[in-house]
Amino acid sequence: MAVNIVIRTLLALFGIGILMLLFMPIIYTLAYDSGLWGEMPVNLLAARDNLYGVFLLVPLIGIGCVVLWAYMAATRKDTEEYA
């Protein structure tokens, strides 16, 4: 059972890493390399930077959820112990 949990945890963490490698260059290009940001007001630039910061937090939340799931799965009691 523990090997199964470790393998699933590693696959989930690997999947989060691959998704970050795929999507963060796209988000960065939309946020900073786009030519239309030159004429925008300061308020919209601040909102853009805050939104980019939130996208950086998404994988941290995903990693936290995976670690929490792995801990809960590893410390789970069998139903026969409650009988």
Q: Where are the alpha helices (DSSP H) in 1-83?
A: 2-28, 42-74, 79-82
In this prediction, residue 78 carries a pLDDT of 63
In this prediction, residue 36 carries a pLDDT of 74
In this prediction, residue 49 carries a pLDDT of 84
Per-residue pLDDT reduced to its tens digit, 30-82: 777 777 777 888 888 888 888 888 888 889 999 999 999 998 888 877 656 65
Q: Which pTM was predicted? A: 0.71
Q: How confident is the model at residue 17 (pLDDT cuts 50, 70, 90)?
A: very high
CB 20, CB 51: distance < 8 Å: no
